C-alpha cells in the first residue's frame, strides 16, 4: 500500500474508532493472539542495507503468511533514529492508535530513547512469547540488559552481535590483538589501518572497544556519563587516538563512511585490517567472491564489545498482535538456526542451543559457519556495551577533535 494511502486509511480508522491498539494484544492468551493477528499487515521497520538480511526477512515474511495469515512488509531503514522520530512525532500529534510502525529492529540508544519517552508498548510482552523460554538469558545477559538498560519485556531478542576483526592470513600472519598492539602496528605500517567515521555504528563501536580497554576503571562506563568527570575518564582514550590518528589511512584526514566502505578498502588491499559487528561478515564476503579465502576473523585477547539486537512494538502499533507473532517466529529455533547459517546471514543465535530439543539442536549442527567466522569458543564472552550516554558524548568529542579535518 502506498504511504499516502496508508496514512489516509489510518486517519479514517482513527476517526471511526476502528484502528488497532497495541494494548489490545495479549501474548498470555496465545490462541487469542494468533486469531487476532490473522489478516493483519505488519509494517516491520528494519535496516535494509544488506542483501542477505533482506532475503532472510523476505523468507520470514513468506513463512508468516503461510503459517499465520499475517502479511509482513519490510520497511527498509537506513538509520533507526528516524523511526524513533516518526513514532515521537505521532505521539506529539496525539496519534495513540493506528501508528505507522508495527515492529522495529532496535537496540542501544534508540531503545533507551523510546523507553524514556514512552514510545514503546508499556506492558511487558516479549518474555511472555512461547519461544522466549529458549532464550539464553543466563549465558547471554545482554538479552535482558540492552546497553545497561533493563529490557523488562519491552523488546524481544532476535540476534547477537560482537565486534570481530578480519585479516588476510596470507599477508598478515600475526594481527594485533589489543589496543596497544594495534597502535604499534599502525606505527610500523603507515596508512594501513582506519575505521569508519563516527557516528557510523561500527566506527563508534571501535571507539567503545578502545575505551573499554584504556579507561582506568571500565566499570564507570556501565553508569550514565558524569559531565564533571567525562574529560578525566576519557583522557586515556583521546591520548591514544591522538597518537594513532597520524598513522592511519590518509593520515586520519579522511575516513570511510560506513562498515561497508571499510570492508571495500580491505578488499581493495588499501588497508590490512577490517572489522564488523557481524562475526560472519567476512565469510559472507568470501562466499560472494569479494574477499580471498585466506581471510580470517578474530577477537582481541581481552574480548570485544558485544550486544543483542531486538525487535520492539511501539505504543501505538496498528498491528500489535501480528507484530508479536512475528517477534515470536523470529525467536523460534527454526528461524534462529536459519539466521545463524553463514550461507543465509551468519547472525549468532540468542538461544541456549544445548537446552533445545534434539531436532532443533540438529538444525544448528547443520548450519554452516563460514571459513572466516570465529567459533563461539573463539568469540568468548563479549564485553558489555557502555551506557548509551557515553556513546553520545564520545561521538561528539571525537567529531570536535578529529571530524573537521
Report the chain (405 residues): mean pLDDT per 10 consecutive residues.
39 36 77 98 94 95 98 95 97 97 95 96 96 95 94 97 97 97 98 96 95 96 95 98 98 94 97 94 91 97 95 98 98 97 91 96 93 90 91 95 76
> pLDDT at position 27, please?
96
> pLDDT at position 13, please?
39
CA distance 336 to 320: 22
In contact, 131 and 328? CB cutoff 8 Å: yes
> pLDDT at position 396, please?
95
Pairing of strands 164-168, 273-276: antiparallel
pTM for the whole structure: 0.82
> pLDDT at position 3, please?
40
Please report, for residues 82, 231, 253, the alpha-carbon distance to residue 333 in angstroms, rounded to integers and kept in the order given.
31, 45, 46
Please report, for residues 128, 219, 230, 238, 344, the alpha-carbon distance to residue 215 in angstroms, rounded to integers and kept in the order given.
39, 9, 11, 10, 38
Say which CATH architecture domain 164-306+382-403 belongs to. Answer: 3-Layer(aba) Sandwich (3.40)
> pLDDT at position 404, please?
56
> pLDDT at position 8, please?
35
> pLDDT at position 214, please?
97
Delimit the domains of the chain by residue range: 3-159+309-373, 164-306+382-403
At the topology level, CATH places domain 3-159+309-373 in: D-Maltodextrin-Binding Protein; domain 2 (3.40.190)
> pLDDT at position 154, please?
98
> pLDDT at position 369, please?
86
> pLDDT at position 49, please?
84
CATH topology agreement for domains 3-159+309-373 and 164-306+382-403: yes
Amino acid at each position: 500500500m502506498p504511504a499516502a494511502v496508508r496514512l489516509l486509511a489510518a486517519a479514517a480508522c482513527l476517526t471511526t474508532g476502528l484502528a488497532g491498539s497495541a494494548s489490545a494484544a495479549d501474548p498470555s492468551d496465545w490462541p487469542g493472539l494468533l486469531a487476532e493477528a490473522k489478516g493483519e499487515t505488519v509494517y516491520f521497520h528494519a535496516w535494509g542495507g544488506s542483501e542477505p538480511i533482506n532475503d532472510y526477512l523476505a523468507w520470514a515474511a513468506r513463512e508468516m503468511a503461510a503459517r499465520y495469515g499475517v502479511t509482513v512488509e519490510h520497511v527498509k531503514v537506513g538509520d533507526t533514529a528516524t523511526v524513533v522520530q516518526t513514532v515521537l512525532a505521532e505521539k506529539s500529534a496525539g496519534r495513540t492508535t493506528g501508528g505507522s510502525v508495527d515492529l522495529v529492529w532496535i537496540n542501544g540508544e534508540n531503545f533507551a530513547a523510546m523507553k524514556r519517552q514512552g514510545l514503546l508498548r508499556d506492558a511487558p510482552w516479549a518474555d511472555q512469547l512461547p519461544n522466549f523460554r529458549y532464550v539464553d538469558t543466563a549465558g547471554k545477559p545482554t538479552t535482558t540488559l540492552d546497553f545497561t538498560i533493563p529490557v523488562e519485556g519491552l523488546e524481544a531478542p532476535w540476534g547477537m552481535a560482537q565486534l570481530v576483526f578480519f585479516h588476510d592470513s596470507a599477508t598478515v600472519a600475526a594481527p594485533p590483538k589489543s589496543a596497544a598492539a594495534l597502535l604499534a602496528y599502525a606505527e610500523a605500517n603507515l596508512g594501513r589501518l582506519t575505521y569508519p567515521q563516527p557516528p557510523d555504528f561500527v566506527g563508534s563501536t571501535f571507539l567503545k572497544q578502545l575505551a573499554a580497554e584504556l579507561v582506568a576503571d571500565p566499570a564507570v562506563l556501565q553508569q550514565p556519563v558524569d559531565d564533571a568527570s567525562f574529560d578525566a575518564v576519557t583522557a586515556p582514550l583521546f591520548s591514544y587516538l591522538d597518537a594513532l590518528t597520524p598513522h592511519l589511512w590518509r593520515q586520519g584526514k579522511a575516513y570511510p563512511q560506513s562498515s561497508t566502505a571499510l570492508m571495500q578498502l580491505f578488499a581493495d588491499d588499501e588497508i590490512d585490517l577490517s572489522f564488523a559487528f557481524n562475526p560472519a561478515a567476512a565469510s559472507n564476503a568470501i562466499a560472494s567472491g569479494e574477499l580471498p579465502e585466506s581471510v580470517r576473523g578474530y577477537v582481541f585477547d581481552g574480548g570485544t564489545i558485544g550486544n543483542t539486537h531486538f525487535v520492539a512494538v511501539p505504543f501505538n502499533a496498528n498491528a500489535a498482535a501480528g507484530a508479536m507473532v512475528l517477534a515470536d517466529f523470529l525467536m523460534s529455533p527454526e528461524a534462529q538456526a536459519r539466521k545463524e547459517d553463514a550461507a543465509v546471514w551468519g547472525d549468532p543465535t540468542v538461544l541456549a542451543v544445548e537446552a533445545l530439543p534434539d531436532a532443533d539442536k540438529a538444525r544448528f549442527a547443520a548450519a554452516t559457519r563460514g571459513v572466516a567466522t570465529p567459533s563461539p569458543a573463539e568469540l568468548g564472552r563479549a564485553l558489555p556495551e557502555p551506557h548509551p550516554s557515553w556513546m553520545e558524548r564520545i561521538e561528539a568529542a571525537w567529531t570536535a577533535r578529529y571530524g573537521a579535518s
